[in-house]
């Protein structure tokens, strides 16, 4: 927890990959950060969402779901709007992680988002080669 306290002061200087990676590490370690730390993280990540790549968005959503962080609906709307702009960069793993996160958090995206997401799933499925399947 002391390490997170030290990191709190540096969150505002972190790049998207660092923010996403930090939250992902916490999720893998199953370490629930304090409410104060999460509030600061969500605020900082919100300010940088436009700079998140598809991988960072999917990883952040997965990590929030893994930690069972119930955040404000507005943050999720911003994140999903950014996902929409970057859906072309989502591969199979990012799509799976995002879908799992939505289900785990009990968040139902609006129908236009669902249609765009499913369209991307279909595109990715067509791109997969036979050797990509287990």
Q: Give pLDDT tens digits for 27-51.
A: 999 999 988 889 999 999 999 999 9
Which pTM does this prediction carry? 0.89
| pLDDT in the model for residue 121 | 95
Which residue ranges make up each domain of the chain?
2-132
| pLDDT value at residue 61 | 97
Do the Cβ atoms of 97 and 62 come closer than 8 Å? yes
What is the pLDDT, as a whole number, of residue 132? 63
Distance of CA 26 to the CA centre of its chain: 14
pLDDT band of residue 105 (cuts 50, 70, 90) is very high
For residue 14, what is the DSSP state? -
Q: How confident is the model at residue 80 (pLDDT cuts 50, 70, 90)?
A: very high
Q: What is the average per-residue pLDDT within 107-122?
A: 95
Tell me what pLDDT residue 2 has.
Answer: 63
Percent of the chain beyond pLDDT 90? 75
pLDDT bucket at 77, cuts 50 / 70 / 90: very high
Here the tokens at position 116 are 């765009």
Q: Is the dihedral of CA 66, 119, 81, 50 positive or negative?
A: positive
């Amino acid at each position: 927890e002391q390490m997170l306290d030290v990191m709190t002061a540096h969150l505002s200087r972190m790049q998207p990959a660092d923010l996403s990676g930090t939250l992902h590490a916490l999720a893998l370690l199953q370490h629930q950060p304090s409410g104060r730390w999460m509030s600061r993280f969500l605020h900082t990540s919100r300010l940088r969402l436009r700079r998140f790549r598809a991988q960072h968005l999917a990883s952040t959503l997965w990590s929030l779901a893994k930690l069972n962080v119930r955040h404000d609906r507005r943050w999720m709307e911003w994140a999903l709007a950014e996902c929409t702009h970057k859906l072309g960069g989502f591969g199979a793993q990012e799509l799976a992680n995002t879908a799992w996160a939505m289900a785990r958090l009990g968040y139902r995206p609006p129908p236009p988002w669902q249609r765009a997401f499913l369209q991307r799933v279909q595109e990715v499925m067509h791109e997969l080669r036979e050797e990509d399947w287990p």
